[in-house]
Amino acid sequence: MNGLLGQMALGLSVLLFLVVLVISFLAGVPMLEAACRAAAVFLGTAFASMLFLRFMMGVVYRFIAEKMIVHGKAKDAKRRDAEARPSATTPLG
């Protein structure tokens, strides 16, 4: 999963790098300055998006784990109730 998160962050960073580079060229910014700006955007976006994606993945993992625990408890309670009640097919007495 970490590899996928890294690729998503890198893809977003490359996309923004290219957008900033093209916009800078179209605005008449010198080539070196445009490249430095684009590199700064790339590094900042890669760092921020990786932190955000890891945080959100932790939230999703916790949510799924809590849902599994609640579902397991409900399933166990239902099974215990079914075992505690006599069924209609078993003879009484």
* Residue 67 forms part of a structural domain: yes
Domains of the chain: total: 1
* Residue 47 forms part of a structural domain: yes
* Residue 90 forms part of a structural domain: no
| Res 33: pLDDT | 94
Radius of gyration of the chain (CA): 27
**Which of 12, 76, 22 has the alpha carbon at shortest distance from 50?**
12
Helix intervals (H) in the chain: 2-26, 31-84
* Residue 12 forms part of a structural domain: yes
Share of the chain above pLDDT 70, in %: 89
Task: Name the residue range of residue 66's domain.
Answer: 2-83
Per-residue tokens: 69: 């625990």
Say whether pLDDT at 91 is over 70. no
| 18 alpha carbon, distance to own chain's centre | 24
Say whether pLDDT at 15 is over 90. yes
The 10s digit of each residue's pLDDT in 64-75 is: 999 999 888 888
Share of the chain above pLDDT 90, in %: 43
9, with CB counted inside 10 A (0-12, 13-18, 19+), is buried
Per-residue tokens: 91: 């003879």
* Residue 92 forms part of a structural domain: no
Q: pTM (2 decimals)?
A: 0.63
* Residue 88 forms part of a structural domain: no
* Residue 39 forms part of a structural domain: yes
